[in-house]
Amino acid sequence: MLTLSRKPGESIRIGNDILIIVQEVRGKVVKISIEAPEDMTIYREELYKRIVAANLESTSLSDLADLEKELKDLPDF
């Protein structure tokens, strides 16, 4: 992994069209602005990880078999 040191007001460019600007550092909080193409989605990592974990729960075949069983156990499903 590449690690760079930057001061507020300085920035990092990734490829031609992604620009990451360090706006402000206050105590433990860093404010960052990102310029990226419209079709590029940007998430806070912890949020992204939670969604991925929930998505994963829906996909394993054994869990799906469990789901089918659960549904069958309900009357009339």
Partner 1 sequence: MRVSTVRFGEIEIKDSDLIHFPGAILGFPASKSYFIIEAEDSAFFAWLQSVQEPELCFVVTDPFIFKKDYSVNLTNKEIESLSIKEANEINILSIVSINSRSNGQININLMAPLVVNATTRVGYQLIKEEYTHHLRYNIKPILRKMAEIEEMDRKAFDKADVQKQAVS
For partner 1, the binding residues (CB under 8 A) are: 38-39, 41, 43, 47-48, 50-59, 61, 63-64, 66-67, 70-72, 74-77
CB of 8 to partner 1, least distance (A): 27
Classify residue 21 by burial, with Cβ atoms within 10 Å: 0-12, 13-18, 19+: middle
CB of 54 to partner 1, least distance (A): 5
Residues pairing with 24 in the sheet: 31
HSE of 42 in the Cβ direction (CA atoms, 13 Å)? Answer: 10
Question: Closest CB to partner 1 among 5 and 77?
Answer: 77
Question: Closest CB to partner 1 among 2 and 45?
Answer: 45
